[in-house]
Amino acid sequence: MPLQELIEGDRVVGAKSVLRRILRSEIEKVFIARDADAKVSEPVLREAEIRKIPVEWVDSSKVLGRACVIERPAAVAGLLKCRQAKEA
């Protein structure tokens, strides 16, 4: 299941937080809900493409919210790089 790594890993939820972490080179993969508002998701998608960060599309924001273990929908989430990779 593609969302399993998001469920088990360290994650950031929310477009602003994910974008901030992308700019700091702390994101390994981005997850975007297909029903997310383009104004919210486009800046994250654009920056992820520039930095060659893989983007995984999720069926809905409700599913993405559940995968992030929160009780509300999420338009964007990011999987943080593991600490070992950052230290190397």
Q: Looking at residue 37, which CATH number applies to its domain?
A: 3.30.1330.30
Number of domains in the chain: 1
CB-based contacts of 46, cutoff 8 Å, min separation 6? none
Does residue 87 form part of some domain? no
The answer to whether the beta carbons of residues 21 and 43 sit under 8 Å apart is no
Percentage of residues in the chain having pLDDT higher than 90: 81
pLDDT interval class at 86 (50, 70, 90): very low
Range of the domain at 11: 4-82
Asked if residue 18 belongs to a domain, the reply is yes
Which stretches within the chain are classed as H helix?
4-8, 15-23, 38-50, 61-67, 83-87
Mean pLDDT across the chain, nearest whole number?
90
Q: What local confidence, expressed as pLDDT, does residue 8 receive?
A: 85
- Has residue 1 got a pLDDT over 60? no
20 lies in some domain? yes
- Confirm whether 88 is domain-assigned: no
pLDDT tens digit string along 3-16?
888 888 899 999 99
